[in-house]
Amino acid sequence: MPAKVESPTPLLWDPDNLVRAVQAAGVTLWSWNVDTDALTMDDRAYDLWGIPHATDVSFEDLSAHIHPADRDRVRAAFNATRAIVGPYEIDFRIIIGDELKWISARGQGDDAGIVKRIMFGIFLDVTGRKQAEEGRELLAGEMSHRVKNLLAIASGLAVITSRSTQTTAEMAEELTLRLTALGRAHDLVRPVPGQTMAASALLGDLLTVLLAPYDDLGAFSGRIRVSVPRMSVGDSATTIFALIVHELATNSLKYGALSVDTGTLDVACSAHDQAVTIVWTERGGPKVKAPEDKAGYGSKLVERSVKGHLRGSIDYDWAESGLVITLKISPERLAA
């Protein structure tokens, strides 16, 4: 005769096993007397709220721990639960010392379901889930912001390039160089997995990468020298700085020292508390004279970027032996 198989139901409803299941789920238990406002909680709930065990607790006592921005919303929600038919859930923040937690309160509404004027429910610590959601929202917002900025920059570059070139081939070539420079700058500040600090690039590395296309053009090789102290350029400043450097290098390639085989370009930098000073010196090129016409679109872009985004200044010395450009930039803005 086959052995009798015992039903698993008794095991399921065993009080000790129910406690184990509750603990495994990470939930804490509470009951609320809707007439007296008294709350009864298990030990894990006391720990969750940072309240000594066996302390008499009312809903108002718990409210003192709720984040001020959520307090009125939670009070209104709990008062309304008696009119809610069926299950309800509300998420809110609590403050325990210096720690912020997210709590989900879940229960069963409707007066018809109340047992001796007492409602029952659970508290669940959902801090990890909320932090993950906030992280995703922050990332989505940052990505949206970056995409909009890049589209605006690309649009502006296309307009500027179209007015400084004569043919579609020239425009395509110059625009490609500008966008490539932006891409190199972006690669330098792209976040690394596991990186905890804000993304940044070294100023010397950034200048070397941005100027490499001009230094690698046949006879121009080796004529660009970069000498700067070790300092960081922050994520938000990198794109602006890349546009400035590319515009100056493009002008030099067209009209200045890099337009002839004998020309050289030196980029030096000094850093002080008040300003980071970058000196762009061209030598050995065609004789220089100050432009008679008002600044073109590229020059306006550079000036607007330096004065607006980097909170600095730009000065031009149109010496006959070669153009010297002095940039003074706010250290805080450069590192931002």
Chain segment 241-262, per-residue pLDDT in tens: 888 888 888 788 778 888 887 8
Region(s) of the chain under CATH 3.30.565.10: 131-335
* pLDDT tier for residue 117 given thresholds of 50, 70 and 90: confident
pLDDT at 189 over 90: no
What are the E-state strand segments in the chain? 27-33, 38-41, 57-58, 86-96, 99-109, 118-125, 200-202, 224-227, 232-234, 264-271, 276-283, 313-319, 322-329
Q: Which residues contact 24 (CB under 8 A, 6 or more apart)?
A: none
- Predicted confidence at residue 196, as pLDDT, reads 47
Q: Average pLDDT in the 191-217 region?
A: 68
Q: Which residues contact 183 (CB under 8 A, 6 or more apart)?
A: none
pLDDT at 24 over 90: no
What is the spatial distance between Cα 214 and Cα 258, in angstroms, rounded to a whole number?
8
What is the spatial distance between Cα 185 and Cα 190, in angstroms, rounded to a whole number?
9
* Burial classification of residue 65, based on how many CB atoms lie within 10 Å of its CB (0-12 exposed, 13-18 middle, 19 or more buried): middle
- Predicted confidence at residue 4, as pLDDT, reads 55
- Predicted confidence at residue 282, as pLDDT, reads 95
pLDDT per position as a tens digit, 32-52? 887 888 888 888 888 889 888
Region(s) of the chain under CATH 3.30.450.20: 9-125
Q: Average pLDDT in the 133-142 region?
A: 74
Residue whose structure tokens are 């649009």: 155
CATH topology of domain 131-335: Heat Shock Protein 90 (3.30.565)
pLDDT per position as a tens digit, 56-83? 888 888 888 999 999 988 888 877 766 6
pLDDT at 301 over 70: yes
Task: Tell which residue, 149, 335, 154, 160, has the closest CA to residue 247.
Answer: 160
- Contact status, residue 293 vs residue 242, Cβ threshold 8 Å: no
Relative to beta strand 322-329, strand 38-41 is unpaired
Domain 9-125 has CATH 3.40.50.720: no
H helices then E strands: how many in the chain? 11, 13
Q: Average pLDDT in the 322-328 region?
A: 94
Residue whose structure tokens are 């997995």: 193
Q: Average pLDDT in the 294-322 region?
A: 83
